[in-house]
Amino acid sequence: MNILILGSTGFIGKNILEYLIERGYNVYAPNHKLMDVLDEKGVIDVLENGQYDVVINALDRNGKENSYFENRLRMFQNLAIHSDLYGKMIYFGSGAEYGRELPVCSIGENEINRVIPSDTYGFCLQQMNDYARKSENIYNFRLFGIFGKYELWNQRFISNAICKAMSGYPITIRQDRYMDYLYIDDLCKIVEWAINNKPKFHDYNAVSGKKYSLYELADTVQKVMHTDVPIYIAKDGYFNEYTASNNRLLSEMCDFEVEDIELSIKKLSQWYTKNKSIIIKEKLLYQ
């Protein structure tokens, strides 16, 4: 089986690449110089020469520049319209597809068109999901909160909390919120299942199916790291919930169990302990 991974230097792609190589999969992970996904001709050349059974599109999920949204769609389209050149494509959408201007509470896939997202990011991804649903071989595994090694530790909440606790700094929360968080190792297992099976649907919530308040997660960080650094919440009350149902996924991945989040946070804290050199304390002061 030949697998092409795009975005293998990013948080998600790098973890998936390591996971698959460790399990003996034949993987090609070109960098931008070897494959510019914005160049349709270059995309065709790579796909025709590689004869890939699976394309894993883990290209950057985030961005703020206006050109980002056009580029994100163009990269997806360059791969999608040539879907006859590979077996299947797996990519990662976002809960933003449901429209984050409304509370997103244990939401299921059938509610995807409840509203057209008011933000460009969500709107862009909703259009991609519509394309995937009409396709023969494109699958969207929609992410909400996800955490693990290689993420942006100074920006992502759980890693940020761990790094602050390690540095003796208070853990700060702008406003509490109920979230769904999935550990990156669990996502890798979901991807492996999708590689080796034919999913019944073309979009899935790739989530834990559980909800945690940010305060609960910060408290768990305190517990596993045996620290009493304070937890500060700037604003009272709760911001919009952001959680989803994973019933569709579990109905097909019958033996899949999400790892206990306390254990996952403990593993991640141990990884940061071994990799302290990547933490620049000054970057934690204003987060």
Digit-coded pLDDT (tens) for 149-158? 999 999 999 9
- Taking the CB of residue 263, how many other CB atoms lie within 10 A of it? 11
% of the chain residues with pLDDT over 70:
97
What pLDDT shows up at residue 170? Answer: 96
pLDDT of 72-82, one tens digit each? 999 999 999 99
pLDDT of 93-112, one tens digit each? 999 999 989 899 999 999 99
pLDDT of 62 over the 80 cut: no
What pLDDT shows up at residue 60? Answer: 74
Q: Where are the beta strands (DSSP E) in the chain?
A: 2-6, 26-28, 54-57, 88-91, 104-107, 138-142, 145-147, 171-176, 178-179, 181-183, 203-205, 212-213, 231-238, 242-244
Q: If we measure between CA atoms, which residue out of 195, 184, 189 comes closest to residue 250? A: 189
What pLDDT shows up at residue 37? Answer: 96
pLDDT range class, residue 285, cuts 50, 70, 90: confident
- Taking the CB of residue 131, how many other CB atoms lie within 10 A of it? 18
What pLDDT shows up at residue 284? Answer: 86
Q: Which residue has the higher pLDDT, 67 or 148?
A: 148
With a CB cutoff of 8 Å and minimum separation 6, the contacts of 32 are: none
pLDDT range class, residue 283, cuts 50, 70, 90: confident
pLDDT of 65 over the 70 cut: no
pLDDT range class, residue 286, cuts 50, 70, 90: low
Can you tell me the distance from the alpha carbon of 189 to that of 166, in angstroms, rounded to the nearest whole number?
Answer: 29
pTM: 0.95
Q: Which domains does the chain have, with CATH numbers?
A: 2-99+108-145+182-206 (3.40.50.720), 151-180+208-284 (3.90.25.10)
Q: If we measure between CA atoms, which residue out of 261, 269, 183 comes closest to residue 226? A: 269
- Cα end-to-end span (Å), the chain: 43
What pLDDT shows up at residue 70? Answer: 86
pLDDT of 260 over the 90 cut: yes
Q: Hey, CA dihedral for 32, 34, 39, 44, is it positive or negative?
A: negative
**Contact by Cβ (8 Å): 49, 33:** no
Q: If we measure between CA atoms, which residue out of 113, 1, 87, 89 comes closest to residue 37? A: 89
Q: Convert 226-254 to b/e letters by CB count within 10 Å (16 or more is b).
A: eeebebeeeeeeeeebbbbbbebbeeebe
pLDDT of 198-225, one tens digit each? 999 999 999 999 999 999 999 999 999 9
- Taking the CB of residue 156, how many other CB atoms lie within 10 A of it? 18
| Partner residues linked to 143 by β-bridges | 94
pLDDT of 258 over the 90 cut: yes
pLDDT of 127-186, one tens digit each? 999 999 999 999 999 999 999 999 999 999 999 999 999 999 999 999 999 999 999 999
What pLDDT shows up at residue 287? Answer: 58
**Mean model confidence pLDDT for the chain:** 95
Which CA distances in Å does 244 have to 16, 105, 173, 179, 249?
Answer: 23, 6, 22, 9, 11
pLDDT of 66 over the 70 cut: no
Report strand pairing: 178-179 vs 212-213. Answer: antiparallel
pLDDT of 21 over the 90 cut: yes
In 118-260, alpha helices (H)? 120-134, 157-167, 184-196, 214-225, 247-252
